[in-house]
Structure 1
Amino acid sequence: MFRIILLLFFSFTYIKNFTQIQKDTTFTINSEYKKNIKKYPFIKVPNIINSGSVKQTSNITYKKIKDRTLKLDAYINITKKTKPALIIIHGGGWKSGNKEMQKSMALEISNLGYQVFTIEYRLSDEAKYPAGINDLESALKFIIKNASKFEVNPSKIAILGCSSGAQMATLVGEKHPKKIKAIINIDGILAFHHPESQEGKYAELWLGGSYSQNPKIWNDASPLYHISKNSPPILFINSQFDRFHAGRDDMIAKLNTFGIYSEIKKIENSPHTFWLFEPWFQPTIKYTTDFLNQTLNKNN
């Protein structure tokens, strides 16, 4: 009997742990390609080639939580001179996606002279808000601590996010303006509870309940309510779908009162996930690097 009880205990523990580490894999480049190819039969997944100046190191541990490790990928432009850095946050409704989805973007931007990092963070099935934000803050701290190793100029760090990752990136940038000097928001909302917002179950899963249940958390997670005189300049790159930039115009109005620079670029006739595919990938890269060159003074 004791052996049976012991066996059941270990079996339950195994199943429990196995369940905990399962990740939602519904949001991938392949799933988005299949979703959009009928409407946009000309789309292609970018094939970015390393120019020879980029050293890629995958799965660098930046944080440990008990037996859980969180990792980042580094794309380092190999030169003696330190360079500005860009942190990239993947999307996926706070529930799915992974850092590898941003490989093409990271490699291309690193080819163009930046030290780039793509970040793994805890998704909503694993941990609720603000866990994912705390992870990104830890990654930022790790990069700054290892700035010399990564040949990063710690006074010139920008952050970019796509979709839900854009909301997260913008929030981190607004909360840490002394460390983040520029923000690129690619089709991400700025306010969860807003007339333009259509966030529902995915927001509730991440924020731990509905707005009526957790209004303070919904507002705290909204970058719109964290703007200050110290806010970094921000670039918005948006699709044709207004709901993916809920609160953007209100945010720009607030930034204008402090004289903080903002810019909007619109990708017409595209799917929401335009940044993953050509013919929109390269324009997205150009808008991003032009903005970074301007705000971070790359050559100084």
Structure 2
Amino acid sequence: MNIAYGLGMLDLIESEPTVPEHIDAFRDITYKTIDGLELQLDIFRKKGLKEPAPTLIFVHGGAWKKGKRQDYLPYLIDYAEKGYVTATLSYRLSGVAKFPAAAQDVNCGIKWIKQHAAEYVIDPDRLALIGGSAGGHLSLLLGYGGEEPLFNQDCIQGVDSAVKVIVDFYGPVDLTTTYAISTEQVQSFMGTSYEQDSEMYRLASPSTFISPDDPPTLIFQGTIDSLVPVSQSDSLQRWLQQAGVPNEYHRLKGWPHTMDMAQEVNEYCQYYIDRFLQQYL
């Protein structure tokens, strides 16, 4: 499949679709200002939405050092069309601030959305976190460990960041593995080596926070992913099973990282996301 990607043999989704006229787009909303930096989010919903709707918060990937919130525009529009409110947020990248900055920002974004739910016809009790790669990692980390004091600084107090569902596309789960601690992306994200601060690597790992009361989790992972080993998602499912957390795992044979850019994989994933959200959100 990597060869097919390279040769342009696969139909890919439109990465920058036009927002339809019947979808309201609220862009560049500042949800947090820190060290002079304004962090922003975008919200999409069908025009005329009257009843508070379940809301999907998308967290972009990019190895924690690149990427932008607009990367998820195809999903944001598709799921707004399906009647959800959708949101996507920016967070501090590793070139700006090291862990736990990104986790703190995502947590603040969730809290902001809950606090401003009424303004955007959002049901604050029906939120899902969805992310791919580094965004999958942050979705899992905050979905499982959002109450960790380290992640609850510099933002709204008195509002929790609990969500009902997590959808994880090939997100790293355990940053303490030999492979993880040796990669440049993880070291850059952490700003220190595992030998210097193993406790911070433990706190940066979603696996640390898995417990029986965690949100139902849907996992997608390609078996030939060269960035995030399939063993990470294999382990995640095993740990969720052991904890008794409802989960569903789609282990896609012969697909690489960012596999959902391919039209057929995207349609497959959306089918199972729809089904999972109907069941748990």
- Bucket of the pairwise TM-score, normalised by the shorter protein: 0.7 to 0.9
What corresponds to 1:292 in structure 2?
277
Distance across 2 between alignment mates of 1:261 and 1:280: 23
**Structure 1 residue 140: Cα displacement:** 0.5
What corresponds to 2:100 in structure 1?
130
Out of 258, 261, 266, the position equivalent to 1:273 is 258
Contact kept? 1:197, 1:244, Cα under 8 Å: no
Q: How does 1:1-300 map to 2 (within 5 A)?
A: 37-46=5-14, 53-78=22-47, 79-176=49-146, 179-194=162-177, 197=180, 200-241=183-224, 243-296=228-281
CA distance 1:128–1:254, change in 2 (3 Å): same
Contact kept? 1:46, 1:281, Cα under 8 Å: no
Contact kept? 1:208, 1:214, Cα under 8 Å: no
CA distance 1:44–1:153, change in 2 (3 Å): same
* 1:165-190 per-position Cα deviation (integer Å, ceiling 9, x unaligned): 10111001002387211111101111
Distance across 2 between alignment mates of 1:35 and 1:124: 31
Extract unaligned runs of 5+ from structure 1: 1-33
| Aligned-partner residue type, residue 291 of structure 1 | F
% same residue? 26
Contact kept? 1:224, 1:247, Cα under 8 Å: no
* 1:215-244 per-position Cα deviation (integer Å, ceiling 9, x unaligned): 111111111110112111100011123644
When the two chains are superposed, the root-mean-square deviation of aligned CA atoms in Å is 2.3
User: What secondary structure does 2:200 align onto?
Assistant: helix
**Structure 1 residue 100: Cα displacement:** 1.1
**Structure 1 residue 51: Cα displacement:** 5.9
Aligned residue pairs total: 263
| Aligned-partner residue type, residue 185 of structure 1 | D
What corresponds to 1:9 in structure 2?
none
Distance across 1 between alignment mates of 2:90 and 2:163: 18
User: What secondary structure does 1:148 align onto?
Assistant: helix
* 1:13-46 per-position Cα deviation (integer Å, ceiling 9, x unaligned): xxxxxxxxxxxxxxxxxxxxx9974245223232
Distance across 2 between alignment mates of 1:198 and 1:211: 6
CA distance 1:245–1:182, change in 2 (3 Å): farther
User: What secondary structure does 1:88 align onto?
Assistant: strand
| Aligned-partner residue type, residue 46 of structure 2 | N
CA distance 1:154–1:289, change in 2 (3 Å): same
Contact kept? 2:29, 2:42, Cα under 8 Å: yes
Distance across 1 between alignment mates of 2:4 and 2:197: 35
* 1:63-107 per-position Cα deviation (integer Å, ceiling 9, x unaligned): 111421000111123311111111101111011111111101111
**Structure 1 residue 250: Cα displacement:** 3.3
CA distance 1:104–1:64, change in 2 (3 Å): same
CA distance 1:245–1:42, change in 2 (3 Å): closer
CA distance 1:53–1:81, change in 2 (3 Å): farther
CA distance 1:68–1:50, change in 2 (3 Å): closer
Deviates more, 1:198-207 or 1:225-234: 198-207
Contact kept? 1:50, 1:111, Cα under 8 Å: no
Contact kept? 1:188, 1:244, Cα under 8 Å: no
| Aligned-partner residue type, residue 46 of structure 1 | E
State the TM-score, normalized to the length of structure 2. 0.86
User: What secondary structure does 1:60 align onto?
Assistant: strand
Deviates more, 1:58-67 or 1:181-190: 58-67
Contact kept? 2:181, 2:187, Cα under 8 Å: no
Contact kept? 2:181, 2:194, Cα under 8 Å: no
